[in-house]
Amino acid sequence: MSERSVSRKKQEKRWYTVHAPEQFDRAELGDTPADEPEKVLDRTIETTLGDLNGNASENNTKLKFKITDVGSDAAYTEFVKHELTRDYLRSLVRRGASKIDAYVTVLTTDDYRVQIQPVAFTTKKADHSQERAIRETMVDIVEEAAAERTFEELIDSVVEGRLSSAIYGEAKTIYPLRRVEIKKSTLEARPEEVAAEEEAAVDVDEDDVDVEDDDEA
């Protein structure tokens, strides 16, 4: 390919301003180039909560968005992941204390499937029964939160720290806690994907019933 052809191809590329979802006030996430709008779809953009709201103290919270819609010169995203930085999580660990993790997969009221990973840090070493009770409490509170909230509301409660505060308030009665965080939240499936999975599962169940009936015959 000649230099002129390469140059022409570069000139044909358009830059699209990428915006965060409405729940993050459509904040600008940066720009991305493409020679065709369709090529912008499904690209991912990573930033920090601090960059979005201008608060440097929240740079330990990473956010990931995926482009789902493209306009003439703008691209729009959906939330796909929130995660605390490893350095920040390491700073919370103390020798002689317990670190208690949980992994909870929940369905929101508007049928988004999300995995939430809370973590609790105790003031001193807890025993196994206390760690188990704290973990069960974390799971229960996350499940209750999802059962009462839409996807957007659940993510807001995670990013703004309300969910971790609710866990702290309940779990500290089991054993003294120093800190509770939601270390990661991930969108696993949208409503249409969840519906397709459920439909496929029903089809499989019906096939099993047919096989059983044939055997009985």
Per residue in 37-87, pLDDT tens?
999 999 999 999 999 988 999 999 999 999 999 998 999 999 999 999 999
Say whether 155 sits in a helix, a strand or coil.
helix
What is the b/e burial string over 21-56, where b = at least 16 CB atoms within 10 angstroms of the residue's CB? beebeeeebeebebeeeeebeebebebbbbbbeeee
Structure tokens at 198: 């459920």
Looking at residue 201, its pLDDT comes to: 85
Q: What is the distance between the alpha carbons of residues 185 and 159, in angstroms, rounded to a whole number?
A: 9
Q: What is the distance between the alpha carbons of residues 69 and 47, in angstroms, rounded to a whole number?
A: 19
Looking at residue 138, its pLDDT comes to: 98
Say whether 104 sits in a helix, a strand or coil.
strand
Q: What are phi and psi of 25, to 5 degrees?
A: 60, 30
CA angle 156, 159, 160 (to 5 degrees): 80
Q: What are phi and psi of 204, to 5 degrees?
A: -65, -45
pLDDT at 8 > cutoff 60: no
Say whether 35 sits in a helix, a strand or coil.
coil
What is the b/e burial string over 69-108, where b = at least 16 CB atoms within 10 angstroms of the residue's CB? ebeeeebbbbbbbbbbeeeebeebeeeebbebebebebbb
Average pLDDT over the chain, rounded to an integer = 91
Looking at residue 11, its pLDDT comes to: 55
Characterise 76 by phi-psi region: left (phi > 0), alpha (psi -120 to 50), beta (else).
beta
The residues that bridge with 180 in the sheet, in sequence order, are 120
What average pLDDT score do residues 165-190 get?
98
Contact (Cβ atoms closer than 8 angstroms) between residue 39 and residue 33: no
All structural domains of the chain, each given as residue ranges with its CATH number in brackets, are 11-84 (no CATH), 95-195 (3.30.479.30)
Range in 10-14, 33-37, 182-186 with the lowest mean pLDDT = 10-14
The alpha carbon of residue 210 and the mean position of all alpha carbons in its chain are separated, in whole angstroms, by 39
Structure tokens at 123: 């003031």
pLDDT at 142 > cutoff 60: yes
What average pLDDT score do residues 187-192 get?
97
Q: What is the distance between the alpha carbons of residues 59 and 51, in angstroms, rounded to a whole number?
A: 7
Looking at residue 78, its pLDDT comes to: 97
